[in-house]
Amino acid sequence: MIAGVLALIAVGMLVWFALNDALYAIGHDDWSRMVLQNVFGGLIGAGSLLVAAGFTVARRIAGAWTLCGLCGFYVVANLVLAPLLNGTPFGAQLTFLFGFDKVNGTAAGLATLFCALTAIMAAIAGSVKSSGPATAVSPRP
């Protein structure tokens, strides 16, 4: 349950990040490659995390491991892949994510932090064995 709640918070941060970039692009009429990547990446990431969070809350082990993998991928993508693909220095990327000086940097940094926490909690949830069935069994007459 905790992993699902953390995932919903991460989804909120990703939607905030995508909407902020979309509003910037509409206001400045600037739909550059970076803005499109941020908008579509944020919305696709939020949608996939939302589905995996739903399966995790429904107590599906595969959902918990999928949520763990997606959140882990998002953290690695934000910290390592984004600077490599966009040609940004690692220090500048870390300042953008954890400097908390711009709205989109704050949203991306909080999404990264919540995805890291969600990945840890989802891994714990996926590795725990249940002592009984996930659904109630009706009594036999």
Domain ranges of the chain: 2-127
Model confidence, pTM: 0.81
- Find the length of the chain: 141
Helix (H, G, I), strand (E, B) or coil at 90: helix
User: Tens digit of pLDDT for each residue in 2-34?
Assistant: 888 999 999 999 999 999 989 988 888 888 888
Mean pLDDT taken over the chain: 87
Q: Are 53 and 7 in contact (CB under 8 A)?
A: yes
Lowest mean pLDDT among 27-36, 92-101, 125-134: 125-134
- For residues 43 and 29, give the distance between their C-alpha atoms in angstroms, rounded to a whole number: 20
- For residues 129 and 117, give the distance between their C-alpha atoms in angstroms, rounded to a whole number: 21
Q: 104 falls in which pLDDT band (50, 70, 90)?
A: confident
